[in-house]
Amino acid sequence: MSEYCERPAYTALAKEFGTPLYVYSKADLDEALLAYRSAFSQLNPLICYAVKANGNLSILQYFAGLGCGFDTVSGGEIARVLQAGGSADKIIFSGVGKSEAEMVFALQAGIKCFNVESLPELERLNAVAGRLGKVAPVSLRINPDVDAQTHPYISTGLKANKFGIAMSVAEEAYRYAAALPHVAVTGIDCHIGSQLIALEPLIEACERLLHLTDRLAEQGIALQHIDLGGGVGIVYRDEQQPDLVQYADAVRRLLDGRKLDLILEPGRSLVGNAGVLLTRVEYVKRGEEKNFVIVDAAMNDLMRPALYQAYHAIENAEDKGLPEIVADIVGPVCETGDFLGKDRRIAAEEGDVLIVRSAGAYAASMAGNYNTRCRAAEVWLDGSGARLIRRRETIEDMLANELCCFRQPERDK
Ligand SMILES: *Cc1c(COP(=O)(O)O)cnc(C)c1O
């Protein structure tokens, strides 16, 4: 974390913009992107920021301005990138379930590459492109069958996962793709999981993909790029921060002497620690067995603890010298799984602002309206101050698409 945003006036921001509130720091985004750029400088990779980590238009605009491409997983995300001014020829389209309509949209936009995950998808893409009189640039997402050693819900590179084409049939799939008239085979890709702390699985995946690339070259199928996906972990608590320089050096050695462009798709490691979630304490409820600090943010604002038992550091924005208690920090949603932190040492009283750390990735982008809760506002923080980049949702916004299909009963006067 940069000095500047170590302790910005979080309490003042909470007062000005309300809570819950996501706050993103430009300095931290810059630092994270620079870490990639300098580690991989000799390889000059196209860094395709994974939009699903945080798709706010201003954030996309900012990355686009810095020359990044984008990794997307839906037509909606492609539309977001285009609206933010990202160029189509730097958009990668990933995902196991691309619909026909999404393919049409992406082909018409002229994206850089479809990362295809199955043979039926390849067939459909070939047919859709043919109908439009286009040729779709494709990479096949290979499942390298390595264990990413992360939470099972965010592990994607094992045989048992739904993602990618198995290594054992990859060559055959490439030969099949190469013979299709409306797709052009341009690359190879993988993405083995998220929040990876160990680099070995990433490096091993790269090795396996290159081995396959060599066998394909022998058969006359020459690829232009290799895309290693995202997945580099961040520090939420006490994890060992993966060393990007070490990763880059290993990749450089493996790519040495080959004419392959490198693409990376980092999401979490670019934005995760550039954001915090501010939340206000509603009540401190002391129980016989447990204490609860009940706050105004909930699992609909930050789903990671409920979904993956994820840890987020939580602290009081101000040190007022209150006594510490051990408490679960929970939201107002009617689910026992609705917690932001369990058994935390915290000194807080009603009205205090708490900082939930590492909330830049998979927080706002996973937010929903469960319990008919409005989605929170988002703020961009840089040297010139704080700017609203998403206004707080209103109850009217939430109800706007719903229809009352029954006639209203006559009301008593
Ligand atoms: C989610 C995803 C990413 C980004 O993963 P991070 O762990 O956030 O870096 C990259 N590529 C694909 C295909 C993804 O699904």
pLDDT at 264: 98
Ligand 1 pocket check for 344: Cβ under 6 Å: no
Ligand 1 atom, smallest distance to 230 CA = 9
CB contact at 8 A, 196 and 154: no
Whole-angstrom distance, CA of residue 104 vs CA of residue 99: 9
Whole-angstrom distance, CA of residue 108 vs CA of residue 100: 12
Ligand 1 pocket check for 157: Cβ under 6 Å: no
CB contact at 8 A, 73 and 52: yes
Whole-angstrom distance, CA of residue 363 vs CA of residue 275: 9
Catalytic residue among 334, 374, 404, 405: 334
Ligand 1 atom, smallest distance to 73 CA = 15
pLDDT at 7: 57
**pTM for this prediction:** 0.95
pLDDT at 182: 98
DSSP H/E element including 378: strand 377-382
Ligand 1 pocket check for 230: Cβ under 6 Å: yes
pLDDT in tens, 236-259: 999 999 999 999 999 999 999 999
Question: Token match 């450089």: residue?
Answer: 252
Residue 83, pLDDT > 80, answer yes
Whole-angstrom distance, CA of residue 359 vs CA of residue 276: 5
pLDDT at 68: 98
pLDDT band for 407, please (50, 70, 90 cuts). confident
Ligand 1 pocket check for 141: Cβ under 6 Å: no
Burial 224-240 (b: 16+ CB within 10 A, else e): ebbbbbbbbbbbbeeee
334 is catalytic: yes
pLDDT at 273: 98
* Number of alpha helices (DSSP H) and beta strands (DSSP E) in the chain: 12, 18
Positive or negative, the CA dihedral 203, 204, 209, 211 is positive
Q: What is the DSSP letter of 196?
A: B
pLDDT at 153: 65
Question: Token match 């209150």: residue?
Answer: 322
Whole-angstrom distance, CA of residue 301 vs CA of residue 354: 14
pLDDT at 4: 42
In sequence order, the β-bridge partners of residue 327 are 344
pLDDT in tens, 154-189: 667 667 777 899 999 999 999 999 999 999 999 999
SS3 content of the chain, % helix, strand, coil (to 5): 35, 25, 45
CB contact at 8 A, 356 and 340: yes
DSSP H/E element including 386: strand 385-390
Side chain identity, residue 228 = L
Ligand 1 pocket check for 50: Cβ under 6 Å: yes
Residue 3, pLDDT > 70, answer no
DSSP H/E element including 207: helix 200-218
| Mean pLDDT across 259-267 | 98
Q: Could you tell me which residues come within 8 angstroms of residue 184 by beta carbon, excluding any fewer than 6 positions away?
A: 135, 136, 137, 138
* Token couple for 153: 């819900």
Question: Which bin fits 44, alpha (ψ -120 to 50), beta or left (φ > 0)?
Answer: left
- What CATH superfamily classification does 272-399 receive? Lyase, Ornithine Decarboxylase; Chain A, domain 1 (2.40.37.10)
pLDDT in tens, 106-118: 999 999 999 999 9
Ligand 1 pocket check for 53: Cβ under 6 Å: yes
Structural domain spans, the chain: 95-264, 272-399
pLDDT in tens, 317-376: 999 999 999 999 999 999 989 999 999 999 999 999 999 999 999 999 999 999 999 999
Q: How far is the CA of 265 from the centre of ligand 1 (A)?
A: 6
Question: Token match 């409920």: residue?
Answer: 306
Q: How many CB atoms lie within 10 A of CB 323?
A: 6
Share of the chain above pLDDT 70, in %: 95
What does the mean pLDDT of the chain come to? 95
Which CATH class, in words, describes the domain spanning 95-264? alpha beta
Whole-angstrom distance, CA of residue 121 vs CA of residue 162: 13
Q: Could you tell me which residues come within 8 angstroms of residue 218 by beta carbon, excluding any fewer than 6 positions away?
A: none
pLDDT in tens, 282-301: 999 999 999 999 999 999 99
Please tell me whether the peptide bond between 20 and the residue prior to it is cis, using omega within 30 degrees of 0: yes
Q: How far is the CA of 264 from the centre of ligand 1 (A)?
A: 9
CB contact at 8 A, 226 and 255: yes
CA within 13 Å, CB half, 49: 31
Q: Could you tell me which residues come within 8 angstroms of residue 310 by beta carbon, excluding any fewer than 6 positions away?
A: 151, 236, 304
Query: Ligand 1 pocket test: which of 154, 161, 197, 265 has the largest number of ligand atoms within 8 Å of its C-beta?
Result: 265
**Exposed, middle or buried: residue 288 (CB in 10 Å: 0-12, 13-18, 19+)?**
exposed
pLDDT at 1: 42
pLDDT band for 413, please (50, 70, 90 cuts). low
